[in-house]
Amino acid sequence: MTDQEKIAMLEEIWELDEGTLATDTVLADVDEYDSMAKLSLIVLMDDEFGVKLTGDVIKGFKTVSDILKLMVIA
């Protein structure tokens, strides 16, 4: 799966326009990245990648790239 495909998944769950996110996008600058967006991310990672995200791991995400690194199919 390419980075672009992973980014498209994030844009879909956060209901962002295509092309809004890039690998170096700072999450703090994304208005839509709120508690529900984080919950959506938890569900996506569990459903699609079998990754269980914890609060501490999510707090450590600074850029989109940090998330992409965990979007790996086991």
Please report, as ranges, the residues that interact with other proteins according to CB under 8 A.
Answer: 13, 15, 35-36, 39-40, 42-44, 47, 53-56
Nearer to other proteins, 1 or 36 (CB): 36
3-class DSSP assignment, residue 23: coil
- Judge contact between 44 and 5, C-beta under 8 A: no
Element (H, E) at 74: none
Q: CA angle at residue 29 from 54 to 15, to 5 degrees?
A: 70
Nearer to other proteins, 19 or 55 (CB): 55
Shortest Å, Cβ 24 to other proteins: 26
Nearer to other proteins, 24 or 60 (CB): 60
